[in-house]
Structure 1
Amino acid sequence: MATYKLDCNGGSGNSYKLALYLNCAGLDWQPIGVDFAGGQTRDPDWRAGTNTMGEVPVLEVNGQRMSQSGAILIWLAETTGKFAPAGTVERFEALRWILFDNHKFTNNYAMHRFQVSLTAEPVHPAILSFLRSRAEASCAIVDKHLMDRPFVLGERPTIVDFSMAGYMYYPAEETGFDIETDFPALHAWRQRLAGLPGWKPPYELMPVGSSPPVRVVTQTA
């Protein structure tokens, strides 16, 4: 039985943050499928036994269940030493960027992706335009930051890079974004991460659980 079990599904970018970290860190782990599309995370018994917040990912290790990807990444870095920030200054920077990621970068991009292709019906164009503008603003900040450094904190990858990678590898027809064209520094960083031993795309790394069916994107807002 694997040391780390990750409750997840292939369409969850927040789950992918941890799956990618665990795989690139060479840790003994396995994905446990969660039927998100079928409403499993809304089930009272699942919430009572797995995560009262009603979300994936959940990391199970030594009988303990942990939720919230950013907090889990920090815990994993502290307990394994893999991809850990070094020193007081870098630890502060790691926390700062993880909070930015959770509050804006991942949040804005994920919300846009969901409304673009994962809702049952297309949303109003004004809503999609608003969400896209927020995602573009967040991506522009990160793109500028990565213009003069290979990874978010400097010369080597850390937990921050895995946190921010959550939604960066889903296909353009699903996200509505052409990162390579619109954000070249972000794309170059994405390629560097994809060169790490253990890297795999989300649906290959987490071929479990269920996500809402993807609608075909015909145009972006």
Structure 2
Amino acid sequence: MSDLSSFPITKRWPPKNPEAIQLYSLPTPNGVKIAIALEELGLAYDAHRIDFSTNEQKSPEFVSLNPNGRIPAIIDPNGPDGKPIGLFESGAILVYLAEKTGKLIPADAHGRYETLAWVMFQMGGIGPMFGQFGHFFKFAADKVANNSYPMERYRDESQRLLSILEARLEGRSWLMGEDYTIADITTFPWVEGARKFYGAADVLDYASFPNVLGWVDRALARPAVKIGMDVPAKP
């Protein structure tokens, strides 16, 4: 049996199955990526809910695994060379899981690097820009009531990024063509989050991006996605 006692986080969130991947997360656009990937890959995992309302992501136990104090994070008891490994940052975790299993990423070098480029596009563009838009649109509207610039800036940048996805998805089922990959898993939760959680479909003019909407709906119809979008579930 794997010994995960060297990871302080396991003291606060004990593993149910020490042989399974330990997932520390919440159903946010970043958090659900890893649950979806784990479901798609059929990997056993324990899901531990990190409660933002009590700042559990800032606790010493959580920060011991992710110094940045953000979800998601994982411990794989069967990491490289059979040794446990702890990882944070959703993009890094997705790449790790894809390479661990040889799935959700092309085997050829050309396809692999192209997939990674789209993963980085989400990490450096979609995530930060959509997140800032959502902050000013939904959570800080009262603070910028007399200054529309912050919301408009991030709205316009989010629309620009959507237009890039729209062009990429022309004639394609997925970002890499016919193959569903970690590039899709890392990106569509943010687009769906802006539509569902931020309630911003009209403000971002989603109707102008039919390729994007079709792509998100195809992803949401996948059985693994239906499960992963609600992991970890509310107690």
Structures share fold, TM-score greater than 0.5: yes
- Tell me how far apart the structure 2 counterparts of residues 87 and 35 of structure 1 sit (CA, whole Å): 40
**What does 1:135-174 align with in structure 2 at a 5 Å threshold?**
135-170=158-193, 171-172=195-196, 174=198
**What does 1:22-61 align with in structure 2 at a 5 Å threshold?**
22-47=38-63, 49-61=64-76
User: Looking at both structures, which has the greater relative contact order when contacts are Cα pairs under 8 Å and sequence separation is at least 6?
Assistant: 1
List, as ranges, runs of 4+ consecutive aligned residues in structure 1 with deviation greater than 6 Å.
none
- Tell me how far apart the structure 2 counterparts of residues 150 and 198 of structure 1 sit (CA, whole Å): 17
Structure 1 position 150, deviation (Å):
0.7
- Tell me how far apart the structure 2 counterparts of residues 98 and 121 of structure 1 sit (CA, whole Å): 33
1:5 corresponding residue in structure 2: 22
Which 10-residue stretch deviates more, 197-206 or 157-166? 197-206
2:90 corresponding residue in structure 1: 69
**What does 1:68-147 align with in structure 2 at a 5 Å threshold?**
68-119=89-140, 121-123=142-144, 124-147=147-170
Unaligned regions of 5+ residues in structure 1, if any?
Answer: 210-221
**In the superposition, relative to structure 1, how do residues 53 and 19 fare at CA in structure 2: closer, same or farther (>3 Å)?**
same
Which 10-residue stretch deviates more, 165-174 or 58-67? 165-174
- Tell me how far apart the structure 2 counterparts of residues 74 and 50 of structure 1 sit (CA, whole Å): 18
CA contact (8 A) 2:36 2:229 kept: no
Letter in 2 for 1:99: M
**In the superposition, relative to structure 1, how do residues 82 and 177 fare at CA in structure 2: closer, same or farther (>3 Å)?**
same
**RMSD value, Cα:** 2.3
- Tell me how far apart the structure 2 counterparts of residues 199 and 207 of structure 1 sit (CA, whole Å): 14
Count of residue pairs the alignment pairs up: 207
Unaligned regions of 5+ residues in structure 2, if any?
Answer: 1-16, 78-83
Letter in 2 for 1:207: A
CA contact (8 A) 2:73 2:86 kept: yes
Q: Which of 177, 191, 207 does residue 201 from structure 2 map onto?
A: 177
**In the superposition, relative to structure 1, how do residues 114 and 207 fare at CA in structure 2: closer, same or farther (>3 Å)?**
farther
- Tell me how far apart the structure 2 counterparts of residues 122 and 143 of structure 1 sit (CA, whole Å): 32
Structure 1 position 120, deviation (Å):
8.8
Letter in 2 for 1:200: K
Query: Are residue 186 (structure 1) and residue 203 (structure 2) matched?
Result: no
Alignment deviations for residues 126-178 of structure 1 (CA, whole Å, 9 cap, x no partner): 21111111111111101111012111011110111101123233344624124
- Tell me how far apart the structure 1 counterparts of residues 97 and 56 of structure 2 sit (CA, whole Å): 26
**Structure with max Cα Rg:** 2
